[in-house]
Amino acid sequence: MKEIAPSTALRKWFHHQPEKWDQFRSKYFDELKRSPSLEEFLSFIHEHKTVTLLFAARDVEHNHALALREFINKHSAKRQ
């Protein structure tokens, strides 16, 4: 779901700079919370046993897929 990805402006601002990681996560989480596609996305992933999150960054420790996984895990606990 493209609508769940970070905005182009946020991705460009972050530019895969690890020192911006905490701010990136916070800004991305704010974007997710405002996304009209969030509930559909969360419902969709809860219907599946396995969900694969893709990313194109070289940095395996600082990328939007990891931030999204963290967001999903926090919101999954609240939904149960």
pLDDT in tens, 36-64: 999 999 999 989 889 899 888 899 999 99
Enter the tokens of residue 19.
């020192």
Nearest to 25 by CA among 61, 54, 55, 63: 63
pLDDT recorded at residue 68: 96
Q: Does this model's pTM top 0.85?
A: yes
Tokens for 39, please give them.
Answer: 């509930």
pLDDT of 69 higher than 80: yes
Q: Environment class of residue 60 by beta-carbon count within 10 Å: exposed (0-12), middle (13-18) or buried (19+)?
A: exposed
Find the helix or strand (DSSP H, E) in which 31 lies. helix 21-34
DSSP, collapsed to helix, strand or coil, labels residue 19 as helix
